[in-house]
Amino acid sequence: MEVDVAATTLGVGGDVSSPSSLSLLCGLSALLVLLWAVSRAAETCWLRPRRLSRALRAQGLGGTAYRFPAGDLADNGRLNEEARSKPMPPCHDIVPRVAPHLLNIVKEHGNVCITWFGPVLRMVIAEPKLVREILSDKSGHFEKFTNKRLGKLIALGLASYDGEKWAMHRRILNPAFHLEKLKSMLPAFSTCCTELISSWESKLAGSDGSHEIDIWEDFQNLTGDVISRTSFGSSFMEGRRIFQLQAEQAERIIKAFQYMYIPGYLFFPTENNKRMKQINREIEGLLRGIIEKRERAMENDGLSSGNDLLGLMLQSNKESGTSRMRMSTEDVIEECKLFYFAGMETTSVLLTWTLVVLGMHPEWQDRAREEVLSVFGKDKPNFDGLGRLKTASISHTLLSSFAYNSLLTMIRLQFPCPGDHDTV
């Protein structure tokens, strides 16, 4: 009897579990989701760019007109490809190669203007006074530009955080860069440099007095070795796979940059997107391995976490969950990714370029070499001697301590002008 009543009630109210009602419900939900997605896309890719464009032009700003949906991305990609397709002559005029699109925009529209990266408006400011004002502004209005989804594929960490999170991470990491700590890293810098110089000397010894070397690759290995030893207490071999993957990832991200600003691009299963996600998973797995190894050493052997970069982060990770000075394991992984990448790429490129420029200006090479030999003679460079250098310290403020140390060691050798194969 009860069963009958229930059946009748359902019959009167409509059987929501019947196939036709269910599919109607699903259809309606899908339509709503579709409408929502279309209105979001229209707002992001059409309405918002037009509103912004009108507002900025009303303030007198020039620049390119927005073209749906990719803005100036295609021009940017084409100009980059053209500029990099031919070798660069040895000169200081690097902007046409590094940022050809930016250069064209500034030439055409002035030092303050707008350009479009997909539907994202980018304001170009090539006025040093204004740049200084913006960079020293403490109001918090100028936030770092981050694309979290894309950033995560290479590294988030300090470089992409703002506000509280940035301040907390800085407080934890600062002790790793105190002067005394940097001084104690000097022997590691020195060992890595000596190994590199010895490898060059043995290549030279086996030749007829001249040998061509790809210094960029050697410098990547050098800076990778230094960052592994000093910040993570691991060997170069342990970090090597991470560097290789990060180098591939950087290339892929640059390649994909032309499409990155198109909303949802990263969700498309393109070959590049799939490989970038796979690389990220492998890097994070390797870092988890390095972290777990250090944690095991701390637990099993009762060792302290160490006061290198990794040690400081793990120590904070062990603090209570409510502490305001605590990094999660995910935070630690992101900072490791950042330091591996920032520590290696930047310094290896700087060292390579410095040697190219010294090759272009042999007279500065002679002056720098003379000075280094007069201060250090045949001894290894030491911290106190660095302060006594004048010619070779031109770039001191630019160079991180280990790059500077490496450079001093290299300066004792002789570098040819690019294209000149007489000396190494």
**Residues lying near ligand HEM in the complex (CB under 6 A):** 144, 158-159, 170, 227, 338-339, 342-343, 346-347, 350, 400
| DSSP state for residue 71 in the 8-state scheme | B
Q: Nearer Cβ to ligand HEM, position 75 or 225?
A: 225
Q: Nearer Cβ to ligand HEM, position 261 or 340?
A: 340
Q: CB of 142: closest distance to ligand HEM in angstroms?
A: 10
Output Rg (C-alpha) for the chain, integer angstroms: 28
Q: CB of 350: closest distance to ligand HEM in angstroms?
A: 4
Q: Nearer Cβ to ligand HEM, position 70 or 226?
A: 226
In terms of C-beta density within 10 A (0-12 exposed, 13-18 middle, 19 or more buried), how is residue 407 classed? buried
Cβ 240 vs Cβ 247: under 8 Å: no
Q: CB of 285: closest distance to ligand HEM in angstroms?
A: 22
Q: Nearer Cβ to ligand HEM, position 234 or 347?
A: 347
| Helix H or strand E segment including 385 | helix 383-386
Q: Which two tokens stand for residue 287?
A: 């870092």
Q: CB of 239: closest distance to ligand HEM in angstroms?
A: 13
Q: How far apart are CA 320 and CA 307, in angstroms?
A: 19
Cβ 222 vs Cβ 400: under 8 Å: no
**Maximum CA pair distance of the chain?**
108
Q: CB of 125: closest distance to ligand HEM in angstroms?
A: 15
How many alpha carbons lie under 13 Å from residue 247 in its C-beta half-sphere?
16
Q: Nearer Cβ to ligand HEM, position 159 or 357?
A: 159
- Bond into 87 cis (ω within 30): no
Q: Which two tokens stand for residue 147?
A: 């694309």
Q: Nearer Cβ to ligand HEM, position 88 or 159?
A: 159
Q: Nearer Cβ to ligand HEM, position 65 or 134?
A: 134
Torsion (CA) 326, 331, 337, 341 in degrees, nearest 10: -70
Strand pairing of 62-63 and 112-117?
parallel
Q: CB of 339: closest distance to ligand HEM in angstroms?
A: 5
Q: How far apart are CA 124 and CA 115, in angstroms?
A: 7
Q: CB of 411: closest distance to ligand HEM in angstroms?
A: 17
Q: Which two tokens stand for residue 343?
A: 């520590």
Q: How far apart are CA 254 and CA 266, in angstroms?
A: 14
Q: Nearer Cβ to ligand HEM, position 309 or 424?
A: 309
Q: CB of 227: closest distance to ligand HEM in angstroms?
A: 6
Q: How far apart are CA 108 and CA 124, in angstroms?
A: 12
Q: CB of 19: closest distance to ligand HEM in angstroms?
A: 56
Angle at 346 between CA 343 and CA 352, to 5 degrees: 120
Q: CB of 384: closest distance to ligand HEM in angstroms?
A: 22
Angular region, 419: left φ>0, alpha ψ -120 to 50, beta rest:
left
Q: Nearer Cβ to ligand HEM, position 86 or 92?
A: 92
Angle at 351 between CA 346 and CA 357, to 5 degrees: 125
Q: Nearer Cβ to ligand HEM, position 46 or 166?
A: 166
| Helix H or strand E segment including 106 | helix 100-109
